[in-house]
């Protein structure tokens, strides 16, 4: 738990910045190429949702280094409109852009832990964790 | 070869073998390898990763640029991997739905089952086969307190689960009608009110209802927009249509269903069916109603139940064993 760093998401370009920082941290923690790519993709999905639906927000990273496991925790926070039909959104095949397998269910698959809190009119907070194996 | 393990060593050896021989044998093993990987839910990006690692070991001097390009390839596979996993999940879901549906279909079979009554001198044949798992057709026999035989045959416009749910409702309303004297026009009027009150207006049900009096050998019938039935005159050896005017069930509250009657002589037959029979298709062509009658005629000498089964088999085959609509055929024959 030594550091936490965030990337503000306002422009589409910021998605790339978030991926970059996330990948760097993942590399430092010791994740292999495949997991790095998965983590980067998850970050993309989260950051793009902020950019598209909330307008602005941030993605924060935290290296986890407990006694028994290492991992990366990512939190995406925005103060946008929130997600109305959470259970629907988490269902496969729902994502509006028809991106096969992508979207939030994809993020859940890419990572080991997934937690979402969203309140209408207040915003959305998604926390995901990937454990190093 | 079935002991193929998805590990780096194995892949590396296969790859080396192929690079050395370029022969089909190694490619066949690659195919086996990929099938095996799929069985273990291995995503494409993992295969690429194994490939990259193998290359690094086989060619320690591999240029860094080439190596970088491999990571680029791996990155492009992530989304395919997700789509693959989603596909797996959806497949499982589909299996679940399928088994749920087959439980429902079995329940429906039990719910809608009707017993062919035994009547002296009258022979009945009945068959009803759903196009999909659930049946949107329905037929029903009932003996009223005066000893007459009531026969209803109905079709919900639409197929599958909604149609099946609708049919269960029809069945339970029919069961709850008093069994005193089941006049076709009265039955249809009551059912019409039930449907009008309870069923979504986008759902239509057609029904043909007949009542056979085994003493007078008179057959009374009414129709709610249903496919006409047929009457076979044994003496004259010809069929004629049996139809009565009447609106589809559920359209308006006070629809009326005029009743007609038909004298039934020995050897004569009453044929009731749904449009799954008359609208059978051979390729793109709808069959003509005469064809149905011809086939019925062909099997007429058989006992009634065998007859309807043979007719069904004929049309099932004609449609390459793929029913497009639920198929229901009921035949009643006066033997003596
Ligand atoms: N941060 C957010 N704020 C508000 N709404 C959101 C947010 N993230 C997602 N949503 C809503 O949830 C829906 C589903 O998001 P998801 O990322 O799963 O799919 P998508 O963005 O529609 O398509 P894809 O990500 O495949 O391109 C979105 O269409 C959007 O309505
Ligand atoms: Mg999205």
CB A104 within 8 A of CB A89: yes
Report pLDDT for B6.
Answer: 58
Compute the distance between CA of residue B334 and CA of residue B289 in angstroms, rounded to an integer.
Answer: 23
**pLDDT score of A96:** 65
> Which domains, ranges and CATH numbers included, belong to chain B?
8-94 (1.10.1240.30), 114-334 (3.60.40.10)
Which residues lie below 8 Å from residue B185, measured CB to CB, with a gap of 6+?
B222, B256, B257, B258, B259
Q: Report d(CA A52, CA A12) in Å as an integer.
A: 9
Question: DSSP state, A80?
Answer: S
Residues of B in contact with A99 (CB under 8 A): 79
For residue range A2-44, what is the model confidence (pLDDT) as tens digits? 457 999 999 999 999 999 999 999 999 999 999 999 999 999 9
Tokens matching residue B88: 């797996």
Select from A87, A82, A85, A101 the least CA-distant residue to A42.
Answer: A101
Residues whose CB is less than 8 angstroms from the CB of residue B95 and which lie 6 or more positions away in sequence, other chains included: none
Instruction: Assess contact for A45 and A103: CB atoms under 8 A.
Output: yes
DSSP, collapsed to helix, strand or coil, labels residue B178 as coil
Backbone dihedral angles phi then psi of residue A52, each to the nearest 5 degrees: -80, -45
Residue-range domains of chain A with CATH? 5-131 (3.30.565.10)
pLDDT digits (tens, 9 = 90+) for B20-73: 999 999 999 999 999 988 888 899 999 999 999 999 999 999 999 999 999 999
> B82 and A110: CB-CB below 8 Å?
yes
Residue B37: CB atoms within 10 A of its CB come to: 18
CA-to-CA separations, A8 to A28, A127, B49, B224, B286, in angstroms, rounded: 21, 16, 32, 67, 64
Confidence of residue A97 (pLDDT cuts 50, 70, 90): low
| pLDDT at residue A46 is higher than 70 | yes
Please state, in angstroms and rounded to a whole number, the distance separating the CA atoms of residues B156 and B328: 12
Ligand 1 atom 8, closest CA: A49
Please indicate whether residue A44, judged by its CB atom, sits closer than 6 Å to ligand 1. no
Q: Which long-range contacts (CB under 8 A, 24 or more apart) does A61-65 make?
A: A61/A4, A61/A5, A61/A6, A61/A21, A61/A22, A61/A25, A62/A1, A62/A3, A62/A4, A63/A1, A63/A2, A63/A3, A63/A25, A63/A28, A63/A29, A64/A1, A64/A129, A65/A1, A65/A2, A65/A29
Q: Helix B8-21 and helix B24-39: axis angle, to 10°? A: 160
Phi-psi region of B150 (alpha: psi -120 to 50; beta: other; left: phi over 0): beta
What is the CA B98 to chain-centroid distance, rounded?
13
pLDDT tens for B285-306 read: 777 778 889 999 999 999 999 9
The finding on whether A101 has its CB within 6 A of some atom of ligand 1 is: no
Q: CB atoms < 10 A from the CB of B297, how many?
A: 14
CB A111 within 8 A of CB A126: no
Give me the residue label for tokens 């001097």.
B61
SS3 readout for B270-296:
EEEECHHHHCCEECCEECCHHHHHHHH
User: What are the Cα distances from residue B139, in Å, to A123, B99, B232, B299?
Assistant: 56, 26, 20, 22
User: Ligand 2 centre and the CA of A104: distance in Å?
Assistant: 7
pLDDT exceeds cutoff 50 at A1:
no
Give, as one character, the DSSP assignment of residue B330. E
CB environment B116-138: b (16+ within 10 A), e (fewer): beebeebbbbbbbebbbbbbbbb
Q: Which residues of B touch A109 (CB under 8 A)?
A: 82, 85-86
Contact status, residue B204 vs residue B248, Cβ threshold 8 Å: yes
The CA distance from B128 to A22, in Å, is 62
A97 pocket-lining for ligand 1 (C-beta < 6 Å): yes
Q: Which residue has the tokens 């039930």?
A: B194
Residue found under tokens 């009932």: B142
CA–CA distance, B112 with B152 (Å, rounded to integer): 12
pLDDT tens digits, residue range B199-235? Answer: 777 778 999 999 999 999 999 999 999 999 999 999 9
**Percent of chain B residues past pLDDT 70, beyond the cut:** 98
pLDDT of A99 reads 59
β partners of residue B236:
none
Residues of B in contact with A16 (CB under 8 A): none
User: Looking at the partner chain, which of B74, B83, B93 has a beta carbon nearest the beta carbon of A101?
Assistant: B83
Q: Above 60 in pLDDT, residue B3? A: no
Asked if residue B2 has pLDDT above 50, the reply is no
Could you tell me the sign of the dihedral formed by the alpha carbons of B73, B71, A100, A49, in that order?
negative
Least confident range of A78-92, A104-118, B3-17, B109-123: B3-17
Q: How far apart are CA B152 and CA B223, in angstroms?
A: 10
B334, B268 contact by CB (below 8 A)? yes
Which atom number of ligand 1 is nearest to the Cα of residue A82?
4
Cβ–Cβ gap A100/B52 under 8 Å: no
Do residue A40 and residue B79 have CB atoms under 8 angstroms apart?
no
CB < 8 Å to A32, chain B: 49
Q: Which residues surround ligand 2, an ion (CB under 5 A)?
A: A 49, 103
pLDDT of B284 strictly over 80: no
């Amino acid at each position: 738990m030594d550091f936490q760093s965030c990337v503000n998401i306002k422009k589409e370009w910021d998605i790339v910045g978030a991926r970059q920082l996330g990948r760097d941290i993942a590399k430092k923690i010791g994740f292999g190429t495949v997991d790095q790519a998965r983590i980067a993709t998850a970050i993309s999905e989260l950051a793009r949702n902020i950019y598209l639906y909330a307008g602005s927000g941030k993605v924060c990273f935290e290296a986890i280094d407990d006694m028994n496991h290492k991992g990366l925790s990512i939190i995406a926070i925005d103060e946008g409109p929130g997600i109305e039909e959470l259970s629907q959104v988490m269902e496969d095949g729902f994502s509006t852009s028809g991106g096969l397998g992508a979207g939030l269910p994809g993020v859940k698959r890419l990572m080991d832990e997934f937690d979402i809190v969203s309140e209408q009119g207040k915003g959305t907070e998604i926390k995901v964790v990937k454990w190093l194996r | 070869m079935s002991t193929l393990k998805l590990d780096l060593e194995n892949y590396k050896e296969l790859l080396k073998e192929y690079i050395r021989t370029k022969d089909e044998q190694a490619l066949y093993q690659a195919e086996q390898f990929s099938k095996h990987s799929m069985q273990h839910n291995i995503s494409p990006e993992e295969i690429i990763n194994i490939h990259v690692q193998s290359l690094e070991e086989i060619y320690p001097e591999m240029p860094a640029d080439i190596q970088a390009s491999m990571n680029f390839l791996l990155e492009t596979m992530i989304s395919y991997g997700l789509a693959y996993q989603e596909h797996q999940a959806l497949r499982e879901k589909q299996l679940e739905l399928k088994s749920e549906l087959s439980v429902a279909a079995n329940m429906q079979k039990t719910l809608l089952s009707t017993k062919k009554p035994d009547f002296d001198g009258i022979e009945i044949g009945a068959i009803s086969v759903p196009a999909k798992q659930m049946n949107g057709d329905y037929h029903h026999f009932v003996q009223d307190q005066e000893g007459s035989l009531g026969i209803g045959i109905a079709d919900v416009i639409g197929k599958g689960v909604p149609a099946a749910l609708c049919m269960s409702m029809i069945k339970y309303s029919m069961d709850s009608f008093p069994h005193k004297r089941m006049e076709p026009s009265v039955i249809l009027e009551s059912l019409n009110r039930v449907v009008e009150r309870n069923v979504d207006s986008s759902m239509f049900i057609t029904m043909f209802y007949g009542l056979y009096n085994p003493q007078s050998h008179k057959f009374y019938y009414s129709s709610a927009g249903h496919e006409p039935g047929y009457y076979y005159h044994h003496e004259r050896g010809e069929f004629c249509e049996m139809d009565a005017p009447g609106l589809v069930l559920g359209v308006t509250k006070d629809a009326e269903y005029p009743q007609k009657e038909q004298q039934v002589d020995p050897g004569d037959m009453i044929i009731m069916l749904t449009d799954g029979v008359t609208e059978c298709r051979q390729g793109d062509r709808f069959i003509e109603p005469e064809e149905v009658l011809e086939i019925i005629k062909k099997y007429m000498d058989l006992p009634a139940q065998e007859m309807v089964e043979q007719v069904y088999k004929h049309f099932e085959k004609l449609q390459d064993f793929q029913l497009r609509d639920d198929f229901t055929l009921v035949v009643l024959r006066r033997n003596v």
